Structure 1
Amino acid sequence: MITKFALSSAFLLTTALGMASAQAADPLITISTGKSGGGYNTIGGRLKSVLAEQDQPAEVLTSAGSLENLNRLADPASPVNVGLAQADALKYYLKDHPGLADKFINLGEIGQECVFIVTGKDSAIH
Protein backbone atom coordinates (compact mmCIF):
# COMPACT_ATOMS: atom_id res chain seq x y z
CA MET A 1 0.00 0.00 0.00
CA ILE A 2 1.32 3.44 -0.87
CA THR A 3 1.75 5.51 2.27
CA LYS A 4 0.71 9.12 2.66
CA PHE A 5 4.24 9.99 3.85
CA ALA A 6 5.75 9.22 0.48
CA LEU A 7 3.07 11.01 -1.47
CA SER A 8 2.61 14.11 0.66
CA SER A 9 6.20 15.28 0.28
CA ALA A 10 5.61 16.91 -3.13
CA PHE A 11 2.93 18.58 -5.24
CA LEU A 12 1.83 15.55 -7.17
CA LEU A 13 -1.03 14.73 -9.42
CA THR A 14 -2.38 11.37 -10.36
CA THR A 15 -5.36 10.17 -12.29
CA ALA A 16 -8.25 8.85 -10.23
CA LEU A 17 -8.21 5.57 -12.13
CA GLY A 18 -4.45 5.15 -11.79
CA MET A 19 -4.55 5.75 -8.05
CA ALA A 20 -7.31 3.21 -7.52
CA SER A 21 -5.33 0.54 -9.34
CA ALA A 22 -2.16 1.47 -7.44
CA GLN A 23 -3.92 0.94 -4.13
CA ALA A 24 -5.29 -2.39 -5.29
CA ALA A 25 -2.10 -4.14 -6.31
CA ASP A 26 0.93 -1.86 -5.73
CA PRO A 27 1.97 -1.86 -9.40
CA LEU A 28 4.92 0.09 -10.69
CA ILE A 29 4.54 3.79 -9.93
CA THR A 30 5.81 5.85 -12.85
CA ILE A 31 6.55 9.46 -11.87
CA SER A 32 6.79 12.11 -14.61
CA THR A 33 9.03 14.87 -13.29
CA GLY A 34 11.02 17.50 -15.21
CA LYS A 35 14.37 17.96 -16.91
CA SER A 36 17.28 15.77 -15.83
CA GLY A 37 19.01 17.27 -12.81
CA GLY A 38 16.22 19.79 -12.23
CA GLY A 39 14.26 20.30 -9.03
CA TYR A 40 11.23 18.21 -10.00
CA ASN A 41 13.45 15.39 -11.23
CA THR A 42 15.35 15.45 -7.93
CA ILE A 43 12.07 15.28 -6.00
CA GLY A 44 10.97 12.35 -8.15
CA GLY A 45 14.20 10.54 -7.29
CA ARG A 46 13.65 11.14 -3.60
CA LEU A 47 10.09 9.84 -3.83
CA LYS A 48 11.37 6.76 -5.64
CA SER A 49 13.83 6.14 -2.78
CA VAL A 50 11.12 6.48 -0.12
CA LEU A 51 8.86 4.13 -2.07
CA ALA A 52 11.71 1.61 -2.47
CA GLU A 53 12.13 1.55 1.32
CA GLN A 54 8.51 0.40 1.45
CA ASP A 55 9.02 -2.25 -1.25
CA GLN A 56 6.96 -0.20 -3.70
CA PRO A 57 8.41 -0.35 -7.23
CA ALA A 58 8.76 3.06 -8.89
CA GLU A 59 10.52 4.69 -11.81
CA VAL A 60 11.20 8.32 -12.63
CA LEU A 61 10.80 9.75 -16.13
CA THR A 62 12.24 13.06 -17.23
CA SER A 63 9.99 15.46 -19.11
CA ALA A 64 9.79 18.96 -20.54
CA GLY A 65 7.83 20.00 -17.44
CA SER A 66 4.35 20.39 -16.03
CA LEU A 67 2.39 20.37 -19.29
CA GLU A 68 4.08 17.21 -20.55
CA ASN A 69 3.47 15.59 -17.16
CA LEU A 70 -0.23 16.45 -17.38
CA ASN A 71 -0.45 15.18 -20.96
CA ARG A 72 1.15 11.91 -19.87
CA LEU A 73 -1.31 11.55 -16.98
CA ALA A 74 -4.26 12.17 -19.29
CA ASP A 75 -3.08 9.67 -21.92
CA PRO A 76 -4.53 6.21 -21.20
CA ALA A 77 -1.68 4.63 -23.19
CA SER A 78 0.97 6.31 -21.02
CA PRO A 79 2.58 4.35 -18.16
CA VAL A 80 2.69 7.55 -16.06
CA ASN A 81 0.41 7.44 -13.03
CA VAL A 82 1.96 10.26 -10.97
CA GLY A 83 3.18 13.64 -12.22
CA LEU A 84 4.55 16.87 -10.81
CA ALA A 85 2.95 20.11 -11.99
CA GLN A 86 2.86 23.77 -11.09
CA ALA A 87 -0.54 25.05 -9.99
CA ASP A 88 -0.74 27.62 -12.79
CA ALA A 89 0.14 24.98 -15.38
CA LEU A 90 -2.67 22.76 -14.10
CA LYS A 91 -5.12 25.67 -14.28
CA TYR A 92 -4.01 26.48 -17.85
CA TYR A 93 -4.19 22.81 -18.85
CA LEU A 94 -7.69 22.33 -17.44
CA LYS A 95 -8.88 25.48 -19.23
CA ASP A 96 -7.96 23.76 -22.51
CA HIS A 97 -9.14 20.31 -21.31
CA PRO A 98 -12.20 20.95 -19.10
CA GLY A 99 -13.37 17.34 -19.40
CA LEU A 100 -10.32 16.21 -17.42
CA ALA A 101 -11.00 18.31 -14.31
CA ASP A 102 -12.41 15.36 -12.36
CA LYS A 103 -9.69 12.97 -13.58
CA PHE A 104 -6.82 14.40 -11.50
CA ILE A 105 -6.22 14.22 -7.76
CA ASN A 106 -3.84 16.59 -5.95
CA LEU A 107 -1.77 14.47 -3.55
CA GLY A 108 0.17 17.31 -1.93
CA GLU A 109 2.33 20.37 -2.41
CA ILE A 110 6.09 20.87 -2.58
CA GLY A 111 5.87 24.41 -1.24
CA GLN A 112 4.90 27.92 -2.14
CA GLU A 113 6.02 29.23 -5.49
CA CYS A 114 7.97 32.46 -5.52
CA VAL A 115 6.65 35.09 -7.93
CA PHE A 116 8.44 38.37 -8.67
CA ILE A 117 6.75 41.59 -9.80
CA VAL A 118 9.12 43.10 -12.34
CA THR A 119 9.34 46.40 -14.19
CA GLY A 120 11.92 47.92 -16.49
CA LYS A 121 14.92 49.54 -14.82
CA ASP A 122 14.19 52.83 -16.59
CA SER A 123 10.45 52.72 -15.85
CA ALA A 124 8.76 55.45 -13.79
CA ILE A 125 7.26 52.68 -11.68
CA HIS A 126 9.33 51.95 -8.54
Structure 2
Amino acid sequence: MEVNPLSIILVKSDSKGDRLLFRYPFHIKESNEPANTRRKNPYTLPIIEDLLQSPPQLTSNIFNGHLTGFTDEFLSSLFAVKAELCNRKFELKVNDVRFVSHPTLLQRRNKTQDESG
Protein backbone atom coordinates (compact mmCIF):
# COMPACT_ATOMS: atom_id res chain seq x y z
CA MET A 1 0.00 0.00 0.00
CA GLU A 2 1.42 3.36 -1.04
CA VAL A 3 1.20 6.15 1.52
CA ASN A 4 0.93 9.76 0.36
CA PRO A 5 0.58 12.29 3.19
CA LEU A 6 -1.99 15.01 2.49
CA SER A 7 -0.81 17.49 5.07
CA ILE A 8 1.72 18.30 7.77
CA ILE A 9 0.26 19.86 10.91
CA LEU A 10 2.11 21.20 13.97
CA VAL A 11 0.06 21.99 17.08
CA LYS A 12 1.06 23.55 20.39
CA SER A 13 -0.82 23.05 23.63
CA ASP A 14 -0.03 25.15 26.69
CA SER A 15 -1.77 26.98 29.52
CA LYS A 16 -3.22 29.47 27.03
CA GLY A 17 -4.91 26.72 25.03
CA ASP A 18 -4.36 24.82 21.82
CA ARG A 19 -2.92 26.55 18.74
CA LEU A 20 -2.17 25.47 15.23
CA LEU A 21 1.41 26.63 14.59
CA PHE A 22 1.98 25.25 11.11
CA ARG A 23 -0.08 23.67 8.35
CA TYR A 24 1.16 22.58 4.94
CA PRO A 25 -0.27 22.95 2.40
CA PHE A 26 -1.76 26.16 3.68
CA HIS A 27 -5.51 26.30 4.23
CA ILE A 28 -7.36 28.36 1.65
CA LYS A 29 -10.88 29.32 2.60
CA GLU A 30 -13.30 28.08 -0.01
CA SER A 31 -16.80 29.24 -0.64
CA ASN A 32 -19.31 26.38 -0.59
CA GLU A 33 -21.72 28.48 -2.62
CA PRO A 34 -21.07 28.65 -6.38
CA ALA A 35 -20.66 32.15 -7.79
CA ASN A 36 -23.68 31.84 -10.10
CA THR A 37 -26.10 31.26 -7.18
CA ARG A 38 -25.30 34.51 -5.39
CA ARG A 39 -27.83 37.28 -5.73
CA LYS A 40 -26.56 40.59 -7.02
CA ASN A 41 -28.99 42.51 -4.85
CA PRO A 42 -29.24 41.35 -1.21
CA TYR A 43 -32.77 42.77 -0.96
CA THR A 44 -34.29 40.62 -3.70
CA LEU A 45 -36.27 37.51 -2.85
CA PRO A 46 -34.84 34.15 -3.84
CA ILE A 47 -36.63 32.20 -6.55
CA ILE A 48 -38.49 29.25 -5.02
CA GLU A 49 -37.11 26.76 -7.56
CA ASP A 50 -33.61 27.60 -6.34
CA LEU A 51 -34.52 26.65 -2.77
CA LEU A 52 -35.68 23.19 -3.83
CA GLN A 53 -32.36 22.31 -5.40
CA SER A 54 -29.96 21.90 -2.53
CA PRO A 55 -26.22 21.96 -3.22
CA PRO A 56 -24.52 18.56 -3.18
CA GLN A 57 -23.26 17.54 0.24
CA LEU A 58 -19.55 17.10 0.85
CA THR A 59 -18.84 13.37 0.55
CA SER A 60 -15.10 13.45 1.12
CA ASN A 61 -12.59 15.54 3.05
CA ILE A 62 -10.03 15.03 0.30
CA PHE A 63 -10.34 17.29 -2.76
CA ASN A 64 -7.69 17.39 -5.50
CA GLY A 65 -5.20 15.76 -3.15
CA HIS A 66 -5.71 18.37 -0.42
CA LEU A 67 -7.27 18.12 3.02
CA THR A 68 -10.55 20.10 3.13
CA GLY A 69 -13.43 20.65 5.50
CA PHE A 70 -11.43 20.94 8.73
CA THR A 71 -10.92 24.30 10.41
CA ASP A 72 -7.67 25.26 12.15
CA GLU A 73 -9.51 25.24 15.48
CA PHE A 74 -10.78 21.70 14.90
CA LEU A 75 -7.33 20.42 13.96
CA SER A 76 -5.65 22.09 16.94
CA SER A 77 -8.13 20.56 19.39
CA LEU A 78 -7.86 17.18 17.63
CA PHE A 79 -4.07 16.94 17.90
CA ALA A 80 -3.49 18.59 21.29
CA VAL A 81 -3.38 15.35 23.25
CA LYS A 82 -2.79 14.75 26.94
CA ALA A 83 0.67 13.93 28.29
CA GLU A 84 -0.30 10.26 28.73
CA LEU A 85 -0.56 9.84 24.95
CA CYS A 86 2.84 11.39 24.18
CA ASN A 87 5.84 9.54 22.73
CA ARG A 88 3.75 6.88 20.98
CA LYS A 89 1.84 6.57 17.74
CA PHE A 90 -1.57 8.23 17.69
CA GLU A 91 -4.00 7.25 14.94
CA LEU A 92 -7.51 8.55 14.37
CA LYS A 93 -9.92 8.24 11.45
CA VAL A 94 -12.45 11.01 10.75
CA ASN A 95 -14.78 10.35 7.81
CA ASP A 96 -12.46 9.18 5.02
CA VAL A 97 -9.23 10.69 6.40
CA ARG A 98 -6.82 8.79 8.63
CA PHE A 99 -4.73 11.05 10.85
CA VAL A 100 -1.44 9.56 12.00
CA SER A 101 0.70 11.48 14.47
CA HIS A 102 3.39 11.05 17.07
CA PRO A 103 2.73 13.52 19.90
CA THR A 104 5.84 14.71 21.71
CA LEU A 105 6.09 16.41 25.08
CA LEU A 106 8.75 19.12 25.20
CA GLN A 107 9.86 20.47 28.56
CA ARG A 108 11.19 24.00 28.92
CA ARG A 109 14.80 23.98 30.06
CA ASN A 110 15.69 25.96 33.18
CA LYS A 111 18.55 28.49 33.22
CA THR A 112 20.38 26.43 35.85
CA GLN A 113 20.42 23.44 33.50
CA ASP A 114 21.82 25.61 30.70
CA GLU A 115 24.65 26.95 32.88
CA SER A 116 25.66 23.54 34.24
CA GLY A 117 26.14 21.95 30.87
TM-score with structure 2 setting the length:
0.30
Higher strand fraction (1 or 2): 2
TM-score with structure 1 setting the length:
0.29
Q: Which has the higher contact order (CA 8 A, sep 6+)?
A: 1
Asked which structure has the greater CA Rg, the reply is: 2
